[in-house]
Structure 1
Protein backbone atom coordinates (compact mmCIF):
# COMPACT_ATOMS: atom_id res chain seq x y z
CA UNK A 1 0.00 0.00 0.00
CA UNK A 2 1.17 3.51 -0.76
CA UNK A 3 2.54 4.83 2.51
CA UNK A 4 1.10 8.23 1.59
CA UNK A 5 -2.42 6.94 2.06
CA UNK A 6 -2.75 5.25 5.42
CA UNK A 7 -6.23 5.74 6.88
CA UNK A 8 -6.78 4.44 10.41
CA UNK A 9 -10.11 4.36 12.24
CA UNK A 10 -9.61 4.76 16.01
CA UNK A 11 -12.26 3.63 18.49
CA UNK A 12 -12.24 4.59 22.19
CA UNK A 13 -14.70 3.20 24.75
CA UNK A 14 -12.75 2.81 28.00
CA UNK A 15 -15.09 4.74 30.29
CA UNK A 16 -18.20 6.82 29.56
CA UNK A 17 -17.35 8.47 26.22
CA UNK A 18 -17.94 6.66 22.94
CA UNK A 19 -15.46 8.09 20.46
CA UNK A 20 -14.28 7.46 16.91
CA UNK A 21 -11.64 9.27 14.83
CA UNK A 22 -10.08 8.93 11.40
CA UNK A 23 -6.39 9.74 10.88
CA UNK A 24 -4.61 10.11 7.55
CA UNK A 25 -0.81 9.83 7.74
CA UNK A 26 -0.67 11.36 11.23
CA UNK A 27 -3.24 14.11 10.60
CA UNK A 28 -6.67 13.89 12.23
CA UNK A 29 -9.56 14.20 9.76
CA UNK A 30 -12.36 13.69 12.30
CA UNK A 31 -12.66 13.22 16.05
CA UNK A 32 -16.21 12.49 17.22
CA UNK A 33 -17.21 12.02 20.87
CA UNK A 34 -20.61 11.07 22.28
CA UNK A 35 -20.73 12.04 25.97
CA UNK A 36 -23.00 10.19 28.35
CA UNK A 37 -24.83 12.83 30.35
CA UNK A 38 -26.74 10.25 32.40
CA UNK A 39 -23.87 9.81 34.90
CA UNK A 40 -24.18 13.39 36.13
CA UNK A 41 -27.35 12.36 38.00
CA UNK A 42 -25.35 9.76 39.94
CA UNK A 43 -22.26 11.87 40.69
CA UNK A 44 -19.99 9.31 39.01
CA UNK A 45 -19.82 6.79 36.19
CA UNK A 46 -22.19 3.82 36.51
CA UNK A 47 -20.49 0.95 34.62
CA UNK A 48 -23.68 -0.88 33.61
CA UNK A 49 -25.25 2.29 32.18
CA UNK A 50 -21.98 3.17 30.44
CA UNK A 51 -21.74 -0.09 28.50
CA UNK A 52 -25.39 0.13 27.48
CA UNK A 53 -24.89 3.67 26.18
CA UNK A 54 -21.78 2.57 24.25
CA UNK A 55 -23.89 -0.07 22.48
CA UNK A 56 -26.36 2.61 21.41
CA UNK A 57 -23.69 5.14 20.41
CA UNK A 58 -20.97 3.17 18.66
CA UNK A 59 -22.53 2.71 15.20
CA UNK A 60 -23.68 6.35 14.79
CA UNK A 61 -20.37 7.67 16.17
CA UNK A 62 -18.24 5.58 13.77
CA UNK A 63 -20.56 6.46 10.88
CA UNK A 64 -20.24 10.18 11.71
CA UNK A 65 -16.43 9.95 12.00
CA UNK A 66 -16.15 8.39 8.54
CA UNK A 67 -18.59 10.90 7.00
CA UNK A 68 -16.86 13.91 8.56
CA UNK A 69 -13.47 12.61 7.36
CA UNK A 70 -14.86 12.11 3.86
CA UNK A 71 -13.58 8.52 3.92
CA UNK A 72 -15.45 5.31 3.09
CA UNK A 73 -14.90 2.20 5.17
CA UNK A 74 -13.30 0.52 2.13
CA UNK A 75 -10.50 3.12 2.21
CA UNK A 76 -9.51 2.17 5.76
CA UNK A 77 -6.06 0.60 6.18
CA UNK A 78 -6.71 -0.72 9.71
CA UNK A 79 -8.97 -0.42 12.77
CA UNK A 80 -7.40 0.59 16.10
CA UNK A 81 -9.27 0.27 19.41
CA UNK A 82 -8.72 0.67 23.16
CA UNK A 83 -7.86 -2.71 24.68
CA UNK A 84 -7.58 -1.27 28.21
CA UNK A 85 -7.31 -0.13 30.94
CA UNK A 86 -10.89 0.90 31.70
CA UNK A 87 -14.33 -0.41 32.62
CA UNK A 88 -14.69 -3.97 31.37
CA UNK A 89 -18.25 -3.61 30.05
CA UNK A 90 -17.33 -0.43 28.16
CA UNK A 91 -14.13 -1.90 26.71
CA UNK A 92 -15.99 -4.98 25.47
CA UNK A 93 -18.30 -2.88 23.29
CA UNK A 94 -15.42 -1.16 21.49
CA UNK A 95 -13.33 -4.33 21.25
CA UNK A 96 -16.16 -6.43 19.77
CA UNK A 97 -17.11 -3.72 17.30
CA UNK A 98 -13.50 -3.16 16.15
CA UNK A 99 -12.89 -6.90 15.76
CA UNK A 100 -16.07 -7.36 13.69
CA UNK A 101 -15.35 -4.35 11.47
CA UNK A 102 -11.72 -5.32 10.79
CA UNK A 103 -12.80 -8.91 10.10
CA UNK A 104 -15.58 -7.81 7.75
CA UNK A 105 -13.27 -5.47 5.82
CA UNK A 106 -10.39 -7.97 5.95
CA UNK A 107 -7.95 -5.31 7.24
CA UNK A 108 -5.48 -5.35 10.19
CA UNK A 109 -6.67 -4.90 13.76
CA UNK A 110 -4.54 -2.86 16.18
CA UNK A 111 -4.93 -2.92 19.97
CA UNK A 112 -4.05 0.24 21.88
CA UNK A 113 -3.14 0.87 25.52
CA UNK A 114 -5.28 3.81 26.68
CA UNK A 115 -2.53 5.21 28.94
CA UNK A 116 0.09 5.07 26.17
CA UNK A 117 -2.42 6.83 23.91
CA UNK A 118 -2.74 9.79 26.31
CA UNK A 119 1.03 10.22 26.03
CA UNK A 120 1.26 9.62 22.27
CA UNK A 121 -1.50 12.19 21.58
CA UNK A 122 1.47 14.58 21.46
CA UNK A 123 2.49 13.01 18.13
CA UNK A 124 -0.66 13.99 16.23
CA UNK A 125 0.29 16.38 13.42
CA UNK A 126 -1.29 19.60 14.58
CA UNK A 127 -0.31 23.10 13.46
CA UNK A 128 1.20 25.10 16.32
CA UNK A 129 1.91 22.07 18.52
CA UNK A 130 5.44 20.70 18.79
CA UNK A 131 6.20 17.03 19.43
CA UNK A 132 8.40 16.27 22.45
CA UNK A 133 11.84 14.81 21.67
CA UNK A 134 12.89 11.50 23.29
CA UNK A 135 13.50 10.84 26.09
CA UNK A 136 10.83 12.94 27.82
CA UNK A 137 8.83 12.76 31.04
CA UNK A 138 5.08 12.41 30.65
CA UNK A 139 2.63 13.12 33.45
CA UNK A 140 -0.73 11.49 32.79
CA UNK A 141 -3.42 12.86 35.05
CA UNK A 142 -7.07 11.87 34.84
CA UNK A 143 -10.06 10.66 36.84
CA UNK A 144 -8.58 7.17 37.03
CA UNK A 145 -4.82 7.70 36.75
CA UNK A 146 -1.91 9.74 38.04
CA UNK A 147 1.44 8.65 36.66
CA UNK A 148 4.88 9.95 35.76
CA UNK A 149 6.26 8.00 32.82
CA UNK A 150 9.76 8.06 31.34
CA UNK A 151 9.25 7.84 27.58
CA UNK A 152 12.32 6.54 25.72
CA UNK A 153 10.57 6.12 22.38
CA UNK A 154 7.01 5.62 21.09
CA UNK A 155 6.62 2.17 22.62
CA UNK A 156 9.33 2.05 25.26
CA UNK A 157 7.79 3.60 28.37
CA UNK A 158 8.54 3.11 32.04
CA UNK A 159 6.26 4.21 34.88
CA UNK A 160 8.57 5.82 37.46
CA UNK A 161 5.88 7.21 39.77
CA UNK A 162 2.15 6.67 40.30
CA UNK A 163 -0.61 7.17 42.83
CA UNK A 164 -0.78 4.62 45.62
CA UNK A 165 -4.48 5.32 46.22
CA UNK A 166 -6.78 7.84 44.51
CA UNK A 167 -6.16 9.52 41.17
CA UNK A 168 -5.91 13.30 40.98
CA UNK A 169 -9.22 13.62 39.09
CA UNK A 170 -10.91 11.75 41.91
CA UNK A 171 -9.45 14.20 44.44
CA UNK A 172 -10.99 17.09 42.47
CA UNK A 173 -14.36 15.35 42.07
CA UNK A 174 -14.69 14.23 45.70
CA UNK A 175 -13.63 17.65 47.01
CA UNK A 176 -16.22 19.19 44.69
CA UNK A 177 -18.88 16.86 46.04
CA UNK A 178 -18.14 18.03 49.60
CA UNK A 179 -18.64 21.60 48.38
CA UNK A 180 -21.93 20.77 46.67
CA UNK A 181 -20.54 21.17 43.13
CA UNK A 182 -21.78 19.02 40.25
CA UNK A 183 -19.99 16.08 38.63
CA UNK A 184 -17.36 16.23 37.23
CA UNK A 185 -16.21 18.94 39.63
CA UNK A 186 -12.71 19.57 38.23
CA UNK A 187 -13.70 22.21 35.63
CA UNK A 188 -15.91 24.04 38.16
CA UNK A 189 -13.12 24.11 40.79
CA UNK A 190 -10.73 25.40 38.12
CA UNK A 191 -13.16 28.19 37.16
CA UNK A 192 -13.74 29.28 40.77
CA UNK A 193 -10.06 28.97 41.69
CA UNK A 194 -9.30 31.82 39.29
CA UNK A 195 -11.52 34.08 41.42
CA UNK A 196 -10.17 32.98 44.80
CA UNK A 197 -7.07 33.31 46.97
CA UNK A 198 -4.93 30.13 46.75
CA UNK A 199 -3.30 30.95 50.11
CA UNK A 200 -6.59 31.43 51.99
CA UNK A 201 -6.61 27.96 53.56
CA UNK A 202 -3.67 25.62 54.15
CA UNK A 203 -3.87 21.88 53.46
CA UNK A 204 -0.82 19.79 54.23
CA UNK A 205 0.74 17.78 51.41
CA UNK A 206 1.01 14.01 51.94
CA UNK A 207 4.50 12.64 52.53
CA UNK A 208 5.07 9.84 50.05
CA UNK A 209 8.44 8.31 49.25
CA UNK A 210 10.06 8.49 45.84
CA UNK A 211 8.00 9.66 42.89
CA UNK A 212 4.68 8.15 43.98
CA UNK A 213 1.57 10.18 44.81
CA UNK A 214 -1.19 9.90 47.40
CA UNK A 215 -4.44 11.86 47.42
CA UNK A 216 -6.62 10.00 49.94
CA UNK A 217 -5.16 11.86 52.95
CA UNK A 218 -5.76 15.21 51.32
CA UNK A 219 -9.37 14.24 50.63
CA UNK A 220 -9.86 13.34 54.28
CA UNK A 221 -8.19 16.58 55.42
CA UNK A 222 -10.55 18.60 53.20
CA UNK A 223 -13.55 16.67 54.56
CA UNK A 224 -12.62 17.38 58.22
CA UNK A 225 -11.83 21.01 57.41
CA UNK A 226 -15.25 21.55 55.78
CA UNK A 227 -17.08 19.77 58.64
CA UNK A 228 -15.26 21.82 61.28
CA UNK A 229 -15.82 25.19 59.56
CA UNK A 230 -19.49 24.52 58.72
CA UNK A 231 -20.12 23.62 62.38
CA UNK A 232 -18.86 27.09 63.37
CA UNK A 233 -20.56 28.87 60.47
CA UNK A 234 -23.32 27.11 58.48
CA UNK A 235 -22.74 29.51 55.55
CA UNK A 236 -19.00 28.90 55.45
CA UNK A 237 -19.00 27.15 52.05
CA UNK A 238 -21.01 29.71 50.10
CA UNK A 239 -19.19 32.63 51.75
CA UNK A 240 -15.75 31.20 50.90
CA UNK A 241 -16.33 28.94 47.89
CA UNK A 242 -13.85 30.61 45.52
CA UNK A 243 -11.11 30.71 48.17
CA UNK A 244 -11.71 27.06 49.13
CA UNK A 245 -11.52 25.99 45.46
CA UNK A 246 -8.37 28.06 44.91
CA UNK A 247 -6.71 26.58 48.01
CA UNK A 248 -7.60 22.98 47.08
CA UNK A 249 -6.38 23.46 43.51
CA UNK A 250 -3.17 25.15 44.71
CA UNK A 251 -2.41 22.21 47.01
CA UNK A 252 -3.09 19.59 44.32
CA UNK A 253 -0.93 21.43 41.77
CA UNK A 254 1.83 21.69 44.38
CA UNK A 255 1.76 17.91 44.92
CA UNK A 256 2.01 17.26 41.17
CA UNK A 257 4.75 19.80 40.45
CA UNK A 258 6.87 18.74 43.45
CA UNK A 259 7.04 15.20 42.09
CA UNK A 260 7.70 16.40 38.54
CA UNK A 261 10.61 18.53 39.80
CA UNK A 262 12.00 15.51 41.64
CA UNK A 263 11.59 13.26 38.56
CA UNK A 264 13.28 15.82 36.30
CA UNK A 265 16.17 16.18 38.74
CA UNK A 266 16.65 12.42 39.16
CA UNK A 267 16.49 11.59 35.44
CA UNK A 268 18.14 14.76 34.14
CA UNK A 269 15.27 15.08 31.64
CA UNK A 270 13.99 18.61 30.99
CA UNK A 271 11.29 17.79 28.39
CA UNK A 272 7.95 17.56 30.19
CA UNK A 273 4.68 16.51 28.51
CA UNK A 274 1.25 16.21 30.09
CA UNK A 275 -1.86 14.33 29.05
CA UNK A 276 -5.14 12.98 30.42
CA UNK A 277 -8.36 14.78 31.28
CA UNK A 278 -7.02 16.75 34.25
CA UNK A 279 -4.33 18.33 32.03
CA UNK A 280 -7.16 20.56 30.75
CA UNK A 281 -6.89 22.34 34.14
CA UNK A 282 -5.66 25.89 33.58
CA UNK A 283 -3.79 26.03 36.90
CA UNK A 284 -1.76 22.93 36.02
CA UNK A 285 -0.99 24.30 32.56
CA UNK A 286 0.19 27.56 34.11
CA UNK A 287 2.36 25.76 36.69
CA UNK A 288 4.06 23.85 33.87
CA UNK A 289 4.67 27.04 31.91
CA UNK A 290 6.16 28.63 35.06
CA UNK A 291 8.45 25.58 35.30
CA UNK A 292 10.04 26.60 32.00
CA UNK A 293 11.63 29.70 33.48
CA UNK A 294 12.06 28.27 37.00
CA UNK A 295 13.55 24.88 36.15
CA UNK A 296 14.64 25.22 32.53
CA UNK A 297 11.94 22.83 31.32
CA UNK A 298 10.48 22.67 27.85
CA UNK A 299 6.82 21.77 28.31
CA UNK A 300 4.37 20.18 25.91
CA UNK A 301 0.62 20.39 26.33
CA UNK A 302 -1.56 18.76 23.67
CA UNK A 303 -4.47 20.50 21.98
CA UNK A 304 -7.39 20.73 24.40
CA UNK A 305 -9.59 18.21 22.51
CA UNK A 306 -6.82 15.57 22.68
CA UNK A 307 -6.47 15.73 26.48
CA UNK A 308 -9.70 14.11 27.67
CA UNK A 309 -10.67 10.60 26.51
CA UNK A 310 -10.91 10.75 22.72
CA UNK A 311 -10.35 8.53 19.70
CA UNK A 312 -7.78 10.76 17.97
CA UNK A 313 -5.18 9.54 20.46
CA UNK A 314 -6.17 5.92 19.72
CA UNK A 315 -5.90 6.61 15.99
CA UNK A 316 -2.38 8.11 16.24
CA UNK A 317 -1.16 5.04 18.15
CA UNK A 318 -2.86 2.91 15.50
CA UNK A 319 -0.96 4.82 12.82
CA UNK A 320 2.42 4.46 14.59
CA UNK A 321 1.81 0.74 15.15
CA UNK A 322 0.68 0.35 11.53
CA UNK A 323 4.03 1.74 10.36
CA UNK A 324 5.71 -0.96 12.52
CA UNK A 325 3.27 -3.62 11.18
CA UNK A 326 2.39 -4.26 14.83
CA UNK A 327 -1.04 -5.89 14.48
CA UNK A 328 -3.11 -8.07 16.79
CA UNK A 329 -5.33 -11.09 16.09
CA UNK A 330 -9.06 -11.76 16.32
CA UNK A 331 -8.35 -13.58 19.62
CA UNK A 332 -7.44 -10.30 21.37
CA UNK A 333 -9.29 -9.70 24.64
CA UNK A 334 -10.12 -6.44 26.43
CA UNK A 335 -8.09 -5.99 29.61
CA UNK A 336 -9.53 -3.70 32.30
CA UNK A 337 -6.22 -3.56 34.22
CA UNK A 338 -3.78 -3.21 31.35
CA UNK A 339 -0.44 -1.66 32.41
CA UNK A 340 1.76 0.65 30.31
Structure 2
Protein backbone atom coordinates (compact mmCIF):
# COMPACT_ATOMS: atom_id res chain seq x y z
CA UNK A 1 0.00 0.00 0.00
CA UNK A 2 1.22 3.52 -0.74
CA UNK A 3 2.31 6.04 1.83
CA UNK A 4 -0.33 8.51 3.03
CA UNK A 5 0.82 12.13 3.09
CA UNK A 6 -0.82 15.29 4.32
CA UNK A 7 -3.72 16.72 2.34
CA UNK A 8 -3.67 20.20 0.91
CA UNK A 9 -4.20 22.26 -2.20
CA UNK A 10 -0.68 21.69 -3.48
CA UNK A 11 -0.12 25.40 -4.17
CA UNK A 12 2.48 25.99 -6.87
CA UNK A 13 5.01 27.36 -4.41
CA UNK A 14 7.87 25.02 -5.23
CA UNK A 15 10.58 25.24 -7.85
CA UNK A 16 10.93 23.50 -11.18
CA UNK A 17 11.94 19.88 -10.65
CA UNK A 18 14.94 20.48 -12.93
CA UNK A 19 16.29 23.05 -10.47
CA UNK A 20 16.03 20.49 -7.69
CA UNK A 21 17.65 17.88 -9.94
CA UNK A 22 20.61 20.19 -10.62
CA UNK A 23 21.13 21.09 -6.96
CA UNK A 24 20.81 17.49 -5.80
CA UNK A 25 23.28 16.35 -8.45
CA UNK A 26 25.80 18.97 -7.31
CA UNK A 27 25.42 17.82 -3.71
CA UNK A 28 26.07 14.23 -4.76
CA UNK A 29 29.07 15.13 -6.94
CA UNK A 30 30.58 17.19 -4.14
CA UNK A 31 30.93 14.02 -2.07
CA UNK A 32 31.40 11.45 -4.81
CA UNK A 33 33.81 12.02 -7.69
CA UNK A 34 32.36 9.04 -9.54
CA UNK A 35 29.22 11.08 -10.32
CA UNK A 36 29.44 12.13 -13.97
CA UNK A 37 27.05 14.03 -16.24
CA UNK A 38 26.91 13.39 -19.98
CA UNK A 39 24.84 15.87 -21.94
CA UNK A 40 23.81 16.60 -25.51
CA UNK A 41 24.08 20.39 -25.76
CA UNK A 42 21.68 20.69 -22.81
CA UNK A 43 23.68 22.55 -20.19
CA UNK A 44 21.29 25.49 -20.19
CA UNK A 45 17.97 23.73 -20.62
CA UNK A 46 19.04 21.00 -18.22
CA UNK A 47 20.14 23.52 -15.56
CA UNK A 48 23.64 22.02 -15.75
CA UNK A 49 25.70 25.19 -16.18
CA UNK A 50 26.41 25.46 -12.42
CA UNK A 51 27.38 21.78 -12.34
CA UNK A 52 29.81 22.25 -15.23
CA UNK A 53 31.38 25.30 -13.62
CA UNK A 54 31.84 23.54 -10.30
CA UNK A 55 32.84 20.11 -11.62
CA UNK A 56 34.45 20.62 -15.05
CA UNK A 57 36.14 17.20 -14.88
CA UNK A 58 32.83 15.44 -14.15
CA UNK A 59 30.82 16.57 -17.16
CA UNK A 60 31.06 15.42 -20.78
CA UNK A 61 29.49 17.47 -23.58
CA UNK A 62 28.59 15.27 -26.53
CA UNK A 63 26.74 17.82 -28.64
CA UNK A 64 23.51 17.15 -30.48
CA UNK A 65 24.17 13.44 -30.90
CA UNK A 66 21.83 11.48 -28.64
CA UNK A 67 22.93 8.03 -29.82
CA UNK A 68 26.52 8.89 -28.94
CA UNK A 69 25.30 10.36 -25.64
CA UNK A 70 23.82 7.06 -24.52
CA UNK A 71 26.73 5.00 -25.86
CA UNK A 72 29.29 7.12 -24.00
CA UNK A 73 27.15 7.08 -20.85
CA UNK A 74 26.92 3.29 -20.99
CA UNK A 75 30.68 2.99 -21.44
CA UNK A 76 31.39 5.22 -18.46
CA UNK A 77 28.84 3.36 -16.33
CA UNK A 78 30.52 0.06 -17.18
CA UNK A 79 33.71 1.36 -15.54
CA UNK A 80 31.98 2.15 -12.26
CA UNK A 81 30.97 5.76 -12.84
CA UNK A 82 27.58 6.98 -11.61
CA UNK A 83 26.39 8.44 -14.89
CA UNK A 84 23.49 10.83 -15.50
CA UNK A 85 22.74 11.19 -19.24
CA UNK A 86 20.74 14.40 -19.76
CA UNK A 87 18.86 15.31 -22.93
CA UNK A 88 15.39 16.46 -24.03
CA UNK A 89 13.04 13.54 -23.45
CA UNK A 90 11.61 13.63 -26.97
CA UNK A 91 15.06 13.11 -28.55
CA UNK A 92 16.61 10.91 -25.88
CA UNK A 93 13.91 8.25 -26.09
CA UNK A 94 13.40 8.33 -29.86
CA UNK A 95 16.77 8.92 -31.49
CA UNK A 96 18.70 6.81 -28.99
CA UNK A 97 16.14 4.08 -28.37
CA UNK A 98 18.36 1.30 -29.76
CA UNK A 99 21.25 2.37 -27.55
CA UNK A 100 18.97 2.50 -24.51
CA UNK A 101 17.68 -0.96 -25.33
CA UNK A 102 21.05 -2.61 -25.98
CA UNK A 103 23.86 -0.59 -24.40
CA UNK A 104 21.98 0.34 -21.23
CA UNK A 105 19.13 -2.07 -20.43
CA UNK A 106 20.32 -5.32 -22.06
CA UNK A 107 23.88 -4.75 -20.85
CA UNK A 108 22.60 -3.70 -17.40
CA UNK A 109 24.73 -0.59 -17.33
CA UNK A 110 23.37 1.58 -14.48
CA UNK A 111 22.91 4.76 -16.52
CA UNK A 112 20.43 7.30 -15.14
CA UNK A 113 18.63 8.62 -18.22
CA UNK A 114 17.24 12.10 -17.54
CA UNK A 115 14.55 13.22 -19.99
CA UNK A 116 14.15 16.98 -19.66
CA UNK A 117 11.32 19.18 -21.01
CA UNK A 118 9.15 16.07 -21.01
CA UNK A 119 5.55 15.67 -22.09
CA UNK A 120 4.30 18.88 -23.71
CA UNK A 121 6.70 21.18 -21.84
CA UNK A 122 7.98 22.59 -25.12
CA UNK A 123 4.46 23.89 -25.76
CA UNK A 124 4.08 25.65 -29.09
CA UNK A 125 7.18 23.99 -30.57
CA UNK A 126 4.75 21.19 -31.26
CA UNK A 127 4.66 17.49 -31.87
CA UNK A 128 8.30 17.17 -32.99
CA UNK A 129 9.38 18.37 -29.54
CA UNK A 130 6.76 16.65 -27.41
CA UNK A 131 7.62 13.38 -25.65
CA UNK A 132 4.30 11.56 -25.59
CA UNK A 133 5.81 8.21 -26.50
CA UNK A 134 8.58 7.77 -23.93
CA UNK A 135 6.67 5.86 -21.27
CA UNK A 136 5.25 3.49 -23.87
CA UNK A 137 8.52 2.62 -25.60
CA UNK A 138 10.50 2.27 -22.39
CA UNK A 139 7.81 0.14 -20.73
CA UNK A 140 8.38 -2.32 -23.58
CA UNK A 141 12.07 -2.66 -22.67
CA UNK A 142 13.13 -5.01 -19.90
CA UNK A 143 15.33 -3.88 -17.00
CA UNK A 144 14.63 -0.17 -16.71
CA UNK A 145 12.84 1.72 -13.93
CA UNK A 146 10.62 4.58 -15.16
CA UNK A 147 9.92 7.54 -12.87
CA UNK A 148 7.99 10.82 -13.22
CA UNK A 149 8.22 12.85 -9.98
CA UNK A 150 5.24 14.99 -8.99
CA UNK A 151 6.99 17.53 -6.77
CA UNK A 152 10.37 18.73 -5.50
CA UNK A 153 10.41 16.16 -2.71
CA UNK A 154 9.90 13.21 -5.06
CA UNK A 155 12.54 14.63 -7.39
CA UNK A 156 15.26 14.90 -4.78
CA UNK A 157 14.54 11.48 -3.35
CA UNK A 158 14.40 9.88 -6.81
CA UNK A 159 17.79 11.31 -7.80
CA UNK A 160 19.46 10.24 -4.57
CA UNK A 161 18.08 6.71 -4.80
CA UNK A 162 18.81 6.40 -8.51
CA UNK A 163 22.45 7.37 -7.94
CA UNK A 164 22.95 4.35 -5.68
CA UNK A 165 20.94 1.87 -7.74
CA UNK A 166 23.05 -0.56 -9.79
CA UNK A 167 20.49 -0.70 -12.61
CA UNK A 168 19.16 1.63 -15.36
CA UNK A 169 16.63 4.33 -14.47
CA UNK A 170 14.70 6.79 -16.63
CA UNK A 171 13.45 9.99 -14.99
CA UNK A 172 11.37 12.59 -16.82
CA UNK A 173 11.12 16.25 -15.82
CA UNK A 174 9.13 19.21 -17.06
CA UNK A 175 9.90 22.91 -16.82
CA UNK A 176 7.31 24.56 -14.59
CA UNK A 177 7.27 25.30 -10.88
CA UNK A 178 5.81 22.41 -8.94
CA UNK A 179 3.56 22.22 -5.85
CA UNK A 180 4.70 21.11 -2.43
CA UNK A 181 2.51 18.05 -1.91
CA UNK A 182 4.02 16.83 1.33
CA UNK A 183 6.41 17.40 4.18
CA UNK A 184 7.05 13.69 4.54
CA UNK A 185 10.39 12.30 5.66
CA UNK A 186 12.83 10.77 3.13
CA UNK A 187 11.95 7.30 4.38
CA UNK A 188 8.53 7.69 2.78
CA UNK A 189 9.82 7.51 -0.82
CA UNK A 190 10.55 4.29 -2.61
CA UNK A 191 10.62 3.28 -6.28
CA UNK A 192 7.55 1.20 -7.03
CA UNK A 193 5.64 2.50 -4.02
CA UNK A 194 3.03 5.16 -4.79
CA UNK A 195 2.18 8.07 -2.50
CA UNK A 196 -1.39 8.69 -1.42
CA UNK A 197 -1.78 12.45 -1.61
CA UNK A 198 -5.44 12.52 -0.62
CA UNK A 199 -7.79 9.89 0.76
CA UNK A 200 -11.25 9.42 -0.76
CA UNK A 201 -13.92 6.74 -0.67
CA UNK A 202 -15.92 7.59 -3.82
CA UNK A 203 -13.30 7.29 -6.57
CA UNK A 204 -9.54 7.59 -7.05
CA UNK A 205 -7.35 9.64 -9.38
CA UNK A 206 -4.10 7.81 -10.13
CA UNK A 207 -1.80 10.41 -11.67
CA UNK A 208 1.88 10.78 -12.44
CA UNK A 209 4.33 13.65 -12.79
CA UNK A 210 2.91 17.08 -13.51
CA UNK A 211 -0.66 15.80 -13.75
CA UNK A 212 -0.88 15.07 -10.02
CA UNK A 213 -1.56 18.72 -9.22
CA UNK A 214 -4.60 19.11 -11.54
CA UNK A 215 -5.91 15.79 -10.20
CA UNK A 216 -5.65 17.17 -6.67
CA UNK A 217 -7.39 20.38 -7.73
CA UNK A 218 -10.21 18.31 -9.26
CA UNK A 219 -10.54 16.28 -6.07
CA UNK A 220 -10.90 19.44 -4.04
CA UNK A 221 -13.55 20.76 -6.42
CA UNK A 222 -15.47 17.49 -6.12
CA UNK A 223 -15.29 17.74 -2.33
CA UNK A 224 -17.49 20.84 -2.65
CA UNK A 225 -20.12 18.54 -4.14
CA UNK A 226 -19.78 16.00 -1.30
CA UNK A 227 -17.76 13.63 -3.47
CA UNK A 228 -14.57 12.35 -1.85
CA UNK A 229 -11.93 11.60 -4.47
CA UNK A 230 -8.61 10.05 -3.54
CA UNK A 231 -5.42 11.18 -5.30
CA UNK A 232 -2.40 8.92 -5.82
CA UNK A 233 1.00 9.98 -7.12
CA UNK A 234 2.11 6.95 -9.12
CA UNK A 235 5.62 8.36 -9.57
CA UNK A 236 7.00 5.00 -10.68
CA UNK A 237 5.37 3.80 -13.88
CA UNK A 238 7.59 0.73 -13.99
CA UNK A 239 7.43 -1.14 -11.70
CA UNK A 240 3.90 -0.17 -10.73
CA UNK A 241 2.70 -0.26 -7.15
CA UNK A 242 0.70 -3.45 -7.58
CA UNK A 243 -0.27 -3.61 -3.93
CA UNK A 244 -1.94 -0.22 -4.13
CA UNK A 245 -3.70 -1.07 -7.40
CA UNK A 246 -4.93 -4.32 -5.88
CA UNK A 247 -6.30 -2.43 -2.88
CA UNK A 248 -8.16 -0.10 -5.26
CA UNK A 249 -9.48 -3.10 -7.13
CA UNK A 250 -10.74 -4.77 -3.96
CA UNK A 251 -12.43 -1.54 -2.87
CA UNK A 252 -14.32 -1.52 -6.16
CA UNK A 253 -14.38 2.26 -6.53
CA UNK A 254 -13.95 3.95 -9.94
CA UNK A 255 -10.42 4.78 -11.07
CA UNK A 256 -9.33 7.68 -13.30
CA UNK A 257 -5.71 7.64 -14.48
CA UNK A 258 -4.08 10.91 -15.55
CA UNK A 259 -0.85 11.36 -17.48
CA UNK A 260 1.06 13.82 -19.67
CA UNK A 261 1.48 11.17 -22.33
CA UNK A 262 -0.37 9.56 -25.18
CA UNK A 263 -3.25 7.40 -23.93
CA UNK A 264 -1.59 4.50 -25.76
CA UNK A 265 0.98 2.54 -23.76
CA UNK A 266 1.41 4.81 -20.75
CA UNK A 267 0.30 4.85 -17.12
CA UNK A 268 -3.38 4.24 -17.85
CA UNK A 269 -2.88 1.16 -19.97
CA UNK A 270 -0.33 -0.19 -17.50
CA UNK A 271 -2.79 0.16 -14.60
CA UNK A 272 -5.73 -1.20 -16.60
CA UNK A 273 -3.73 -4.19 -17.82
CA UNK A 274 -2.70 -5.18 -14.31
CA UNK A 275 -6.08 -4.60 -12.66
CA UNK A 276 -8.18 -6.32 -15.29
CA UNK A 277 -5.85 -9.31 -15.55
CA UNK A 278 -6.19 -9.68 -11.79
CA UNK A 279 -9.96 -9.94 -12.24
CA UNK A 280 -10.92 -6.47 -10.99
CA UNK A 281 -13.71 -4.73 -12.87
CA UNK A 282 -13.67 -1.20 -11.53
CA UNK A 283 -15.20 1.54 -13.65
CA UNK A 284 -12.10 2.96 -15.32
CA UNK A 285 -11.07 5.95 -17.47
CA UNK A 286 -7.72 6.98 -18.97
CA UNK A 287 -7.10 10.71 -19.30
CA UNK A 288 -4.12 11.81 -21.37
CA UNK A 289 -3.33 13.00 -24.88
CA UNK A 290 -5.56 11.23 -27.45
CA UNK A 291 -4.22 9.41 -30.49
CA UNK A 292 -3.68 12.56 -32.56
CA UNK A 293 -1.13 15.29 -33.14
CA UNK A 294 -1.52 17.81 -30.36
CA UNK A 295 -3.01 21.26 -30.70
CA UNK A 296 -0.59 24.18 -30.65
CA UNK A 297 -0.25 26.13 -27.42
CA UNK A 298 1.47 26.33 -24.07
CA UNK A 299 1.57 23.37 -21.73
CA UNK A 300 -1.31 24.87 -19.73
CA UNK A 301 -3.37 25.42 -22.88
CA UNK A 302 -2.72 21.88 -24.11
CA UNK A 303 -3.64 20.46 -20.68
CA UNK A 304 -6.87 22.45 -20.68
CA UNK A 305 -7.76 21.42 -24.24
CA UNK A 306 -7.46 17.73 -23.41
CA UNK A 307 -9.18 17.91 -20.04
CA UNK A 308 -6.09 17.55 -17.84
CA UNK A 309 -7.42 20.27 -15.57
CA UNK A 310 -9.52 20.82 -12.47
CA UNK A 311 -12.71 21.21 -14.48
CA UNK A 312 -11.95 18.54 -17.07
CA UNK A 313 -11.01 15.88 -14.55
CA UNK A 314 -13.92 16.62 -12.23
CA UNK A 315 -16.26 16.23 -15.21
CA UNK A 316 -14.71 12.87 -16.11
CA UNK A 317 -15.14 11.75 -12.51
CA UNK A 318 -18.78 12.82 -12.36
CA UNK A 319 -19.57 11.07 -15.64
CA UNK A 320 -17.86 7.91 -14.42
CA UNK A 321 -19.75 7.97 -11.13
CA UNK A 322 -22.99 8.44 -13.03
CA UNK A 323 -22.03 5.62 -15.42
CA UNK A 324 -22.12 7.88 -18.47
CA UNK A 325 -19.68 7.44 -21.34
State TM-score, norm by structure 1.
0.26
Name the structure with the higher helix share.
1
> Which has the bigger relative contact order, CA under 8 A and spacing at least 6?
1
State TM-score, norm by structure 2.
0.27
Structure of higher CA gyration radius: 1
